[in-house]
Amino acid sequence: MSSKAATVVREWPSLIAGSPWSGGQLCDVVHPGDGSVVGRVHVPDEDATEQALAAAWAVRGIGRAMSAADRAECLMHVSHGLARRVDEVAALITAENGKPITWARAEATRAASTFRWAAEEARRFNGEFQRLDTEKATERRAAIIRRFPYGPVLGISPFNFPINLVAHKVAPAIAVGAPIVIKPAPATPLGALLLGELLAETDLPSGMFSVLPVGNDVAPTLVADPRLPVISFTGSESVGFAIKREVPNKLVILELGGNAAAIVLDDYSSDADIAWAAQRIAMYGNSQAGQTCVSVQRVFVEQALADRFIPALTTAVAELPSGDVWDPATVVGPVINDAAAERVMSWIDEAIEAGATVLAGGGRERTFIEPTLLADVPSHVKLSCEEVFGPVMSVQAIRDFDEGIALVNDSRFGLQTGVFTHDIQKIFRAHRELDVGGVIIGDAPTFRADQMPYGGIKASGVGREGLRFAMQDLTYDKVLVLTDLDL
**DSSP assignment of 225-282, as one string?**
-TT--EEEEES-HHHHHHHHHH-TTSEEEEE-----EEEE-TT--SHHHHHHHHHHHH
> d(Cα 58, Cα 62) in Å, to the nearest integer?
8
Asked if 446 and 465 sit in the same domain, the reply is no
Asked if 237 and 335 sit in the same domain, the reply is no
Per the DSSP assignment, residues forming a β-bridge with 153 are: 180, 230
How many beta carbons lie within 10 A of that of residue 182, not counting itself?
A: 26
Residue 154, domain member (yes or no) = yes
pLDDT at residue 5, rounded to an integer: 46
Residue 455, domain member (yes or no) = no
| Paired sense of beta strands 368-369 and 364-365, if any | antiparallel
> d(Cα 373, Cα 111) in Å, to the nearest integer?
31
Task: Please list the rounded mean pLDDT of every run of 10 residues in the chain (487 residues).
Answer: 59 97 94 96 97 98 98 98 98 98 98 98 96 96 98 98 98 98 98 98 97 97 98 96 97 96 98 98 96 97 98 98 96 97 97 97 96 96 96 98 98 97 98 98 97 97 96 98 96
Asked if 151 and 278 sit in the same domain, the reply is no
Residue 485, domain member (yes or no) = no
Residue 456, domain member (yes or no) = no
Asked if 107 and 213 sit in the same domain, the reply is yes
Q: Which CATH number does the domain housing residue 220 bear?
A: 3.40.605.10
Give the chain's length: 487
Chain centroid, CA 397 distance in Å: 30
What is the SS3 assignment for 392? strand
Residue 487, domain member (yes or no) = no
Residue 349, domain member (yes or no) = yes
Choosing from 96, 107, 255, 370, which is the catalytic residue?
A: 255
What is the SS3 assignment for 326? coil
Asked if 213 and 280 sit in the same domain, the reply is no
Asked if 294 and 396 sit in the same domain, the reply is yes
Q: Name the DSSP class of 28.
A: E
Residue 237, domain member (yes or no) = yes
> d(Cα 331, Cα 317) in Å, to the nearest integer?
11
Asked if 171 and 298 sit in the same domain, the reply is no
H or E element, residue 170: helix 164-176
Helix axes 164-176, 101-124, angle to 10 degrees: 10
Asked if 320 and 214 sit in the same domain, the reply is no
Total number of domains in the chain: 2
Residue 468, domain member (yes or no) = yes
How many beta carbons lie within 10 A of that of residue 424, not counting itself?
A: 9
CA dihedral in degrees (11, 232, 417, 320; nearest 10)? 0
Per the DSSP assignment, residues forming a β-bridge with 413 are: 458
> Which of 17, 18, 12 lies closest to 52, judged by CA?
17
The count of C-alpha atoms lying within 13 angstroms of the C-alpha of 444, restricted to the half-sphere facing its C-beta, is 27
Asked if 229 and 290 sit in the same domain, the reply is no
> d(Cα 198, Cα 178) in Å, to the nearest integer?
18
> Which of 342, 318, 340 lies closest to 331, judged by CA?
318
Asked if 419 and 274 sit in the same domain, the reply is yes
Asked if 225 and 344 sit in the same domain, the reply is no
> d(Cα 452, Cα 165) in Å, to the nearest integer?
14
Q: In angstroms, what CA-CA distances link 457 with 341, 415, 462, 464, 476?
A: 28, 6, 7, 10, 21
Choosing from 293, 302, 370, 387, which is the catalytic residue?
A: 293
Dihedrals φ, ψ of 394, to 5°? -120, 150
CA dihedral in degrees (148, 152, 158, 160; nearest 10)? 50
What is the SS3 assignment for 194? helix
Cβ pair 408, 439 in contact under 8 A: no
Q: Which CATH number does the domain housing residue 287 bear?
A: 3.40.309.10
What range defines the domain where residue 330 resides?
261-450
Asked if 221 and 317 sit in the same domain, the reply is no
Cβ pair 386, 364 in contact under 8 A: no
Contacts of 264 (CB under 8 A, 6+ apart): 277, 281, 299, 300, 301, 302, 305, 309, 420
Tell me, yes or no, if 46 is annotated catalytic.
no
pLDDT at residue 24, rounded to an integer: 79
The count of C-alpha atoms lying within 13 angstroms of the C-alpha of 378, restricted to the half-sphere facing its C-beta, is 11
Tell me, yes or no, if 255 is annotated catalytic.
yes
Give this prediction's pTM: 0.95
